[in-house]
Structure 1
Amino acid sequence: MSTPLTLIVTLIARPGQAAAVEAALRLLIPSSQAEAGCLQYNLHRHRDNPQRFSMIEQWQDRAALDAHERSAHFLSFGRTCAGLLEQVEHQPMHRIL
């Protein structure tokens, strides 16, 4: 049995685009949380930098994350928001404790 995969995705909106990015990220949440293998999918906004968002995700395994990244809602977000984002950073993690 594989261990769950945690992914921390940090997204930085271009100036003036934070509201649009937040709205698009909010739309991802219900569909992503309903996916097979999704253990956690939560959106956070930086307290001091409103342009900076983090999605804390936990997936049952790499196959579940791969399926998420091929999902229609995920691909739609990429097409819709590519021009609204200044930076996207993915940090794959494995829980130790």
Structure 2
Amino acid sequence: MAAKVEIYTKMFCGYCHRAKRLLDSKGVDYVEYDITMDGKKRDEMRTRAPGAMTVPQIFIDGVAVGGSDDLAALEREGKLDGLLGH
């Protein structure tokens, strides 16, 4: 079964684009929350990932995995597919 993937992003964020491109390349469906103008979603992100001040913030099955660099590291280490249920 595929994992539930959520990603908090902002407009014009290169790191967000890179993370989404990696997820897209794996055929992963994800829910995107654009926090550019949405203070409620920004607060939600900070509650879910305490100390997170940057985007993207990525969650797989409700677990914070970090940002774009963290997602890329999971892919390099061969751990991402397992988390995604592939």
* TM-score normalised according to structure 2 size: 0.34
Structure having the higher strand fraction is 1
Q: Please tell me whether Structure 1 or Structure 2 has the larger radius of gyration of its CA atoms.
A: 1
* TM-score normalised according to structure 1 size: 0.31
